[in-house]
Structure 1
Amino acid sequence: MFRVKDVLSGTLKSMGITKQYNAQSVIVHWQEIAGDEIASHAWPISIQRGVLLLAVNNPVWSHHLMMLKPVIIEKINKFLNEKLVYDIRFQAGNLQKYQNQEEDEENSTKLRPAKLTSDELAAVWQQTEAIQDDSLRKKCYYVLIKQTALTKAKQNDGWQSCKRCNILVPPGQGLCTVCSMEFKKEKTEAITKLLTEAPWLTYQEMLQYVPCNAREFHTAKKRLVHKLIHSLFDPGWDKLNEATLVMLMTGIKPARINQTLVDTVIGKIKMRLAEKVRRKSHVSAPRR
């Protein structure tokens, strides 16, 4: 006779559900992994393609946990004895919605598991053939039935595979949550890279290279402008950075830009920064 924990790993692997099992283990044992303090402010939602999606109850803790990301990832992977999580994404959320361990996936998706045919049940039972322990086989069988029934219900309700990772998503949603965040990040990076190389581009010109909406374009442009302004007094700042910043702010193309214009715009920016520092210093100065 073998103990359950001795055969479970190999059994789950043979059934192809190791990652799903480990992902659920992180959610079930989150308080043990992360500690009481973190668990009172953040709770795991899902793990997909190595990315842990974490619900956080306020922006302060989102920033705090961002700094602790490497530590949390190390704790999770050490607990599982497997490199399952490579990154963590944060989103605002109501923790009570996720902390109820009795909440099943079908409740959260508003779907009721579909009824399986005898052939489907037989196929599920066949998947557990490698499990020698009868008690463990039955438990895994019931877990797989639940998973298969929910998958069938989603398919019957019109759910389709995510265009990137094949996870089922609701009708009209093309990408799952994690893939959607990855896609937005990649798009932002592409816009930023192109604006860095051609800072004079307008939104309409950008559409020829990167499909995006106006908000995505202007948000990326604004962040790049702020980044360059914050680097204005760095030792590595040069004339090329100045010209890039001016073209981003004015949209003037390289053929029309000149040093006088650059000096004027950069001079105004420096004056505003200096005025901002003076005001801040005046406000924070102690009264006598």
Structure 2
Amino acid sequence: MKRSDRPPMKHAEKVSFLLKRILGQPGFGEQLNRHQAWLVWDQLVGEQIAARARPFKLRQGVLEVQVDHPVWMQQLQMMKPQILEKIAAKIPNAGITDIYLRQTRKPQTYSPKKQKTTPEPQPWEGMELTEAEKDSIEEKVSPIANMELRHELRKLFTRQKQLDKCRKD
């Protein structure tokens, strides 16, 4: 939808409301489970292969992987069963049944994440939350089964509460 076709918002929605609405959609949890393959790919295949092959697409249980050289495609073709076993062990509910290898013309280079310098703390980061606020956040995230996602949402909701409190003061 074009911006001009959209009615203007009277006020911005809180992130917690938007996330709750998105996470409440049917099938969203299953999609998150399937796409965790991107997060664990480097661990599953190792740094050397990860430098040459990257997950690209996931469609109907088939993980499409871009590979930058035919020799690596052949190697990965032979390793498919082991990689699928590792995916099934690491992400049991992913539903990934096959891997499709595609050679890319322009190889994607792999570079480990660089360490970021820590910025100065913002004033709202030091705001203490009350027990009631902490309980409210815990109540929102408790239905989420994925522990990693629950932890990240807890951090997000905590930061939002701290920011809200700072704005009120």
Higher CA-based Rg: 1
TM-score (norm 1): 0.30
TM-score (norm 2): 0.49
